[in-house]
Amino acid sequence: MVAAVAVAGGCRSAGDWRDVADEKAARVLGAVQRDVTGREEPVQIETPAQTLRRRLLLDQGLTVFNEASLGIRDLSTNAYWNGAERLQASDRDDSLPLGTNRVLTIGLKDAVQIAARGSRDYQGRKESLFTAALGLDLENQKFRTTFTGMMNASVDSSESEGERETRYGEANKVGASRTFADGTQLSSAIAVDLAGMLSGEKTSSWGLLADASISIPLMRGSGRLVNMESLTQAQRNLVYTVREFEQYKREFMVGIASAYLNVLLTKRMLVNEEENYKRVIISTRRSRRMADANRMSPSDFDQSRQSELSARNSWISAFESYDASLEAFKGQLGLPPDAKIDLADQDLEELQAYVEKFAKTELGEYDAGEAAAPLALERPKSVDEAGALKDQVDRAIALAVENRLDFRSNIDRIEDAQRQVLIAEDALRAEVTLGGRASAGEGAKAGSDDNGEFNLGEAVFGSTLSIDLPFERTAERNAYRGSLIQLEGAVRAYQAAEDALKESVRAAIRSLRETREQLKIQYLAVSLAERRVRNNDLLLQAGRAEMRDVLEAQAALLSAQNALFSAIRSYRVKELELQKELGLLEVTIDGVWREPDMRALGVWGEF
């Protein structure tokens, strides 16, 4: 009966153990997430039935050299692997619909969500979070009641005085133990054994034994603080991991957005190079006709032709640059570099319309003023000058301290160090341990038909008192001194983190203000370059300008257009980076993100 109970309670399939581990980790992680962020986000670490990478490889007919490229669920069954037994069933589909031409067109929000599902680094971070939750569950196990079950059967045969005797024995034991928060340890066990002979008289007997023991620390090693430290630290480590993951999600989102906008910028530069190439071709054709009519020197035509060749070379280079940046971006998303993917132009158009609301400046007449008047340049405002800007900077830093969860960990680590000081002090005390034990019953003996008696009245009781006086505590003394040094280090680490947070917020604000001014300048530069191209083209047709003037104006327009779109991209990235530094950018574990209303928070004024 004891054996049957032990087998029924202890034998599970590998899949059952996996499910239990997932359930425990999800429960532990969910509780910490609710405490840290106020919401619970399930961490899915198993591979879904259909991934976007797999869909692209199959539907677009891309080259696959090994089944592992498709995913773990496509690995073939062999002597070492059977996915059907070891993987959880999954009907999740992380793929996106393809266009009629089997090309996947994605926008900025799509890119972030694809990366959250396919990025290898992001998946590794989720697995680390899940593993940390399993580690906390293991620490919890130390303070749960644990059960053990053992079965042992043996047969011995020996020859004595010309006769062979064969003995058999069977022992079954179940027990339970528990460690309490104050350091008390309690254990108990009950054992049933059978001993008998297979020859001669074939006698047999049963035995039944039970015992229990307790150990109670009275000085060193006693109390909840000392004995719960490993569990306490594991809980706090998981809290730190969750906080760091929250900030990592923001950094990951901004990184993907920056990479996406960078690819979009190279695509726009490709369009600019194409438009410039067309303008130069038209100019070269016009110069050919003017040279044939003796209205332009052959050298001017040659210069225009040379400019056309240079424009074509830049156009081809722009194609290669776009392809290279797009392939690198696919790698960030966890997708094959040969996958057919295109970016939505609408994102850049919406971004341009967004920044034009505050950055676009119409080209007006230049105010020359008095030539001899002294120049008085207006210096840009500093983040340290008293006024609205400084108030907004101070408000931004306060928001960062309040909302950056990873920054809070620096404060909590000081408390960790303080706890270690108390634990090290406890180790310097004398060790006094009170113990007790009780046992009852008799075991079975081979060759006897007398069963063991289980009489509680004949139970054996015992107690011990162990005292270790603190004469030798050299290691503990050094550990105590080291704990004080570590506390000093924790305080310095907090100071460094606080200063770094202030610096990063101030730097993000300065960078955003600088980019906004660059946007205004570049809008004016493009307007001037466009007017210069029109004027020089008309003057060339009227014979009042040289081809060199036209070509220089066209080159200046191309440079200004590229600089404008680069500034637009930079400004959008700087916005997101500031929101990330303030801890206000909300990003879910699936890559869905939402930006805060910065003006409503009082930090979106002059910058």
- The CA-based angle 476-477-480, given to 5 degrees, is 85
For the cut 70, the answer to whether the pLDDT of residue 605 exceeds it is no
Q: What is the mean pLDDT of residues 52-78?
A: 89
What confidence score (pLDDT) does residue 10 get?
57
Q: Measure the CA–CA gap between 396 and 168, rounded to whole angstroms.
A: 80
What are the distances in angstroms from CA 375 to CA 364, 365, 371, 438?
A: 21, 19, 10, 99
Q: How far apart are CA 222 and CA 184, in angstroms?
A: 8
Place of tokens 């016009």: 286
Report d(CA 519, CA 90) in Å as an integer. 49
What pLDDT, in 10s, does the model give residues 375-393? Answer: 777 777 777 777 788 888 8
Task: Read off the amino acid at residue 507.
Answer: A
pLDDT (tens digit per residue) in 459-504: 888 999 999 999 989 999 999 999 999 999 999 999 999 999 999 9
- DSSP codes of every residue in 330-357: HHHHT--TTS-EEE-THHHHHHHHHHHH
Top-confidence residue, 59 or 454: 59
Measured N-to-C along each axis, helices 120-141 and 14-37 cross at an angle, to the nearest 10 degrees, of 100
Most confident residue range from 138-142, 242-246, 470-474: 242-246
The pTM is what?
0.85
CA dist 497 and 401 (Å) reads 10
| Residues near 142 by beta carbon (within 8 Å), at least 6 away in sequence | 179, 230, 231
- For residues 143 and 238, the model is more confident at 238
Render pLDDT for 542-570 as a digit per residue (tens, 0 to 9).
878 788 888 899 999 999 999 999 999 99
In which order are the strands placed within the sheet that holds 431-442? Answer: 146-160, 163-179, 185-197, 204-217, 431-442, 460-468
Residue 210 has pLDDT above 80, yes or no: yes
pLDDT digits (tens, 9 = 90+) for 265-315: 999 999 999 999 999 999 899 888 888 888 888 888 888 899 999 999 999
